[in-house]
Chains A and B, each alone.
Chain A
Amino acid sequence: MNGMSKIVRTMARLLYPFVLAFGAYIVMHGHLTPGGGFQGGAVIASGLAMMVVAFGRRSEKHVREGVLSVIEDFGALAFLGLAFLGIGTTFFYNLIANSGWLFGSSVSYGSNPGYLNTGGTLPYMNWAVGLKVLAGLGSIVVLMAFVFGEDEDEDTA
């Protein structure tokens, strides 16, 4: 598939880091503001789709489907591993909340500006889901653009 004109390519290259940063912000702050794993992952994947559409065939060597598949598996395994972390009490138990580790401070109630350090296993799970979604959606975009839709078989009449 062909890319688009020089203006589109330049703007896509300029906007790409901002889209990635915005998606990462949505994933990161999922436990405080609307957002979370799926929404942020979908935004990052749409940034990926923007680059694939703007650059066409030339972006094929930058997004490899094997790398995306490994990221997807890693995200899913991280999510399940975090769920199994609290199996001493119950499945999906929030072991890190109100303890001293990263993201483990206690939550203050009432109207507050929102402290990033809270949430327990929630930010970790947000990142795991975000990785899985960005890899999954990115794989769908890459596969449908490059692998499908080319050389049809000879026996279609």
Chain B
Amino acid sequence: MSIVEHSPALLVGIPLLAAFATPLISKASGKLRDIFVFLCLAFIFALAVVLISDVIQNGTRVYVMGGKLPSLTLPSGKTFPIRIILEPDAMSALMVLLTALIGLIGFLYSLQFIRAEGAPDKFYTLFMLLIAGMLGLEMTGDLFNFFVFFEITSIAACGLVGFRISEATSSVAAFRTMTIYTLSGLILLLGVGLLYGEYDALNIAYIASKLSFSGVDKLALALFIGALLMKIGSVPAHMWVPDAYGESPAPATIALVINTQAGLYGLLRVCFTLFGVSRAAHIGWLLAIIGTISILVGVLASIYQNDLKRLIAYTAVSQTGYMLMALGAGMAAKGELGFGRTALEGGVFHIFNDVISMGLVFLCAGMIYRATGIRDLNKLGGLAGKMRWIAVLFLIGGLAVAGLPPFNGFASKLMIYESVYKLNPIFSALALLCSIILLGVYVRLFYSIFLGSKLVEPQRIPKGMILASSLLALLIIGIGLLPGMVVKSLVSPAVGALMDKAGYIGKVIAGGM
């Protein structure tokens, strides 16, 4: 027995343990709870690093829950797997690493942020539940288990959105978010039920090996894509994103951002591993069109907003559109491995960059709210006098989101532009135009909040929050200066594992020692 062998199960079990032990420990003392949660999150981050280095070196790892051995997928005499199997491959491990990183940084930020809002132990319970749900969603190899973790993340996320109970708008936003999440979860369950009725199995690898594209399978694929597009916040169902991101406290907002990216991971897993990429040209075009419309709607709607966090949330919708566009181009490549692979690599790299840069912008917005208590842009102004360092951080984050050269957004957006251009130049041109408008939006934000005449007196910001945001800024600059290394070592194996459907199936079906 070694830690590496049991790391998938520990990555799911330890956040759950932390989530339920937190209320008991905080009855004893608050400081003990902070230390306990920090130790758990640090341990999870270490496990995530161990997992990704192991998976990149040794290939996909398989973990059977409750079996005689962690890798014994087919017990004696059976030809199909009968237990819940966790199967983290390189793409899963990348998302797990991102989730653990955001968990750690969110916790460091929330140490002083939540103390002022009251009830910190409830916040940590919901936060750890959300982290546990996301880690499970990203590693599982079983369709119904995917649905269960999907619902865990929905409930925890909506609890975090409605966390500020004393304000009038949070409960309305939480109700609207919960409606969309519940509806998408139920549509997902319908698709899972259809596939189960057809193939009498729930394991992704087993269904992928037996899939024949009958009418019921196409219906199940449509239901899956519909449900996951609702969770991602793409155009027909994007109205929950400004509500949810705008009303939750800032460390919860960055957890919600990576929750959305976990939905995008689910879409990748369903489209590439479960249903296979060679038959998906039409779906690729559809996703690319939806992605482009999301970019347009997100950017154009963000010009008119007056509330700081809602404006940033609309730009988050547009960034999701970039990833959908890249995913669609990757699927519509139809065997031309040249630009398809670059599109997928650009999309996955953009997931990585977007979480970090959007995270930084949301954390800065949280610090502005904490310093002034105001979210209305008309009433903010001239804060750069007292809050110099936060102005620099906000500028770094905003320029990274807009995609300017020394920051990380530029590298991934360049890959997306180049590959989508070969699909259809109109998409690429529209995306580039929206990127320029996005730059204008962020420059206007920076000017109206930090420069100009001083309208309100900011209070002091605790050091912990500035430290957490600076860590993200360091990552942005680091990835921006060395994008090639990140793509070669992390993103390329992830995309390779994603397109290697036979390898994923083989690990489970050939199972055994």
Contacts and interface: CB of A to CB of B under 8 A. Distances in A.
A74 B27 CA distance: 13
A94 B10 CA distance: 17
Nearest to A70: B24
A84 B20 CA distance: 14
B9 A87 contact: yes
Interface stretch (A35-43, A56-64, A75-83): A75-83
Size class of A's contact patch?
10 to 19
A80 B16 contact: yes
B20 A90 contact: no
A16 interface: no
Contacts of A89: 67-69
A25 interface: no
A147 B20 CA distance: 23
Contacts of A84: 13, 17
Contacts of A86: 66
A91 interface: yes
B contacts with A: majority SS: helix
B70 A77 contact: no
Contacts of B20: 73, 76-77, 80
Contacts of B67: 89-90, 93
A90 B13 CA distance: 12
Interface string B2-27: 00001001101100110011011000
A77 B17 contact: yes
A118 B24 CA distance: 32
B70 A90 contact: yes
Contact of A80 (B6, B17, B63, B64): B17
B66 A92 contact: yes
Contact of B65 (A69, A70, A90): A90
A89 B9 CA distance: 12
B17 A88 contact: no
A92 B65 CA distance: 6
A58 B239 CA distance: 45
Contacts of A77: 17, 20-21, 24
Contacts of A74: 24
B24 A90 contact: no
A69 B63 CA distance: 33
B17 A91 contact: no
A69 B23 contact: yes
B28 interface: no
Contact of A93 (B16, B21, B66): B66
B513 interface: no
A88 B3 CA distance: 11
A120 to B, nearest CB: 11
Interface in A79-114: 80, 83-84, 86-94
Interface in B416-463: none
Interface centre among B10, B20, B64 (most CB of A within 10 A): B20
Contact of A91 (B9, B21, B23, B69): B9
- Which 3 pairs show the lowest CB-CB distances between chains A and B? A91-B9, A76-B20, A92-B66
24 contacts: A69-B23, A70-B24, A76-B16, A77-B20, A77-B21, A80-B16, A80-B17, A80-B20, A86-B66, A87-B6, A88-B1, A89-B67, A90-B63, A90-B64, A90-B66, A90-B67, A90-B68, A90-B69, A91-B9, A91-B10, A91-B12, A91-B65, A91-B66, A94-B66
